[in-house]
Amino acid sequence: MQASAFESGSHMPFQPLVEALRVRLERENSPKDFLDEIWSSPLSQLLPELRQRYPDSPSTPKARPDLEMELSQTQLFEPMVQFTLALAKRAPLVKWVDDLQWADSATLDFLHYAIRRWRDSAARVLLLVSLRSEALLPVTQPPQTGGPTGLIEWLAKVERELTPVHLELEPLSENETVEMVQSILLLPAADFAEWVYCETRGQPFYLMESLKDLLERRALHPKRQAGGRWRFAVDAEHDLGQAVRVRLPCGRLIRSRLNRLSPNASSLLAAGAVLDQQIMFGRLCAISNLAEDMALPALDELISGRLLLETAQLGAASAYAFANDMLRDVVYTEAGDARRRLFTGGRWKCSKRRGLCAVLAHHAQAAGLAQAAFHHSLAAGREALRLSAVSEAIVHFERARQYVREASLPETAAKADLRDLYLQLGRAYELGGQVEKALAIEAERDKLS
């Protein structure tokens, strides 16, 4: 089971878990084929599409008023654990969560719960997570409201349960870089390989971007060798010792590659940067306002240039991902404010159909649209509270409250919305055991009356 956490979903409850569940369940005939109904039914709380896909499954209880419909953590955690245990009985299960530094606290809470259950059940499960090393520096930890203090504390709790194996991915050494570059050149040039190391310091992404740049500038030409292996010949008109060796910071290097894209490919890539996660062809077309017959060649251009990578899953529709977070950041910045606002509007329409209120709030805030950010934050808080993701609920409600306190909303956000905001926020603080804050919110709500 594979999933990635995303910055825009960092306060979306169970975002990477829902992604992994959705992809895996698309490969199954029905959850009840290997999971008791008592466990399969609650999964529809996280994956509403299951109710449409399996209409014969027991329905969930009718919705009660908002303040009474929160599910307990056990009601959500145990069905997901039972699902993984059922899979692990078939074959050893690897659960991989990429970019854990963006995971919401509800996901971290679940993984901590699951680790205990897998250990006690002696389940054949390998939990594999990747994260940026800078996320382990206290100064980079995002503030958490009403919940865990972040990734560092989570890792400390995990280490009390078991002994994890840490694999730190180091840059290539100078010898490794020189060996790699020489292995792909038809005429090995030690001085050029050494220059590549000096420019990139062995960082694989910088190294590959530099070589791609040389290919696109036709300083290197691909040549197919016997046995299907590819090597690269230096163009006769280029002197790698002088003309090509212009120091370019990686950001400028990426921009130089982006400038060579066709207009349609640029639009499609910018739409992908706004979309951020679950990048699919139909959504790219909708956001960039490109017809499919025009978008297909642009998509081929992005894939052949290794700007987007296809991440097809067995039995599921193809999705795409940026080759690297830095690439996505540069594209997002280069898109410009006007285009980001335009594309963000398309992103909202696309996301609204799937109820991703937390993502909508993130993009509305980034676009500086206070009213939209307020309403989406309020909706995201309600959804988080329904799933007992108290920390995420508080983050969203506090964000909405901040817009109210800064008077950045139109003259009146509906009084009903304001009353609901303070009622829900007080409830969230109460559930989180922060009674004093709950009382302060209640007093602030009374002043509104």
Q: What percent of the chain has pLDDT over 90?
A: 11
Task: Tell which wins on pLDDT, 429 or 248.
Answer: 429
Helix (H) or strand (E) holding 402: helix 390-405
Query: 262-354: what fold?
Result: Arc Repressor Mutant, subunit A (1.10.10)
Helix (H) or strand (E) holding 302: helix 292-304
Task: Tell which wins on pLDDT, 124 or 64.
Answer: 124
Band of residue 55 on the pLDDT scale cut at 50, 70, 90: low
pTM for the model stands at 0.67
Task: Tell which wins on pLDDT, 314 or 91.
Answer: 91
Distance CA 254, CA 332 (A): 12
> 316: buried, middle or exposed (CB in 10 Å: 19+, 13-18, 0-12)?
middle
CA distances, 277 to each of 48, 101, 172, 444 (Å): 19, 15, 29, 37
- Residue 118, phi then psi, degrees to nearest 5: -65, -40
- Residue 322, phi then psi, degrees to nearest 5: -70, 145
* Average pLDDT estimate for 96-125: 92
Three-state DSSP state, 309? strand
Nearest to 266 by CA among 277, 255, 276, 251: 255
For the record, the structure tokens of 152 come out as: 């560092």
- Contact indicator for 151, 141 with CB cutoff of 8 Å: yes
**DSSP tally for the chain: helices H, then strands E:** 20, 7
The domain locations on the chain are: 2-161, 174-256, 262-354, 356-449
Whether the per-residue pLDDT at 232 is higher than 90: the answer is: no
Which pLDDT does position 124 carry in this prediction? 95
> Tokens 């500086």 label which residue?
368
* Average pLDDT estimate for 208-231: 78
Nearest to 102 by CA among 310, 277, 351: 277
Q: According to the per-residue pLDDT averaged within each range, which of 225-239, 338-352, 378-392 is highest?
A: 378-392
To the nearest 10°, the Cα dihedral for 397, 403, 406, 411? Answer: -130
Strand intervals (E) in 242-399: 308-310, 320-322
> Tokens 């609650």 label which residue?
42
Cα-trace Rg, the chain: 25
Which pLDDT does position 246 carry in this prediction? 45
CATH of segment(s) 356-449 = 1.25.40
Whether the per-residue pLDDT at 342 is higher than 60: the answer is: no
- Contact indicator for 332, 273 with CB cutoff of 8 Å: yes
Which pLDDT does position 210 carry in this prediction? 78
CA distances, 368 to each of 51, 275, 332, 352 (Å): 36, 17, 15, 18
Lowest-pLDDT range of 90-94, 234-238, 346-350, 379-383: 346-350
Task: Write out pLDDT tens, residues 360-374.
Answer: 787 777 667 778 888
Band of residue 84 on the pLDDT scale cut at 50, 70, 90: very high
Distance CA 400, CA 427 (A): 15
Task: Write out pLDDT tens, residues 162-177.
Answer: 888 999 888 888 889 8
- Contact indicator for 342, 366 with CB cutoff of 8 Å: no
Which pLDDT does position 63 carry in this prediction? 40
Q: What angle do CA 57, 62, 65 make, to 5 degrees?
A: 150
Task: Write out pLDDT tens, residues 56-69.
Answer: 655 544 444 443 34
Q: According to the per-residue pLDDT averaged within each range, which of 101-105, 108-112, 145-149, 219-223 is highest?
A: 108-112
Whether the per-residue pLDDT at 269 is higher than 60: the answer is: yes
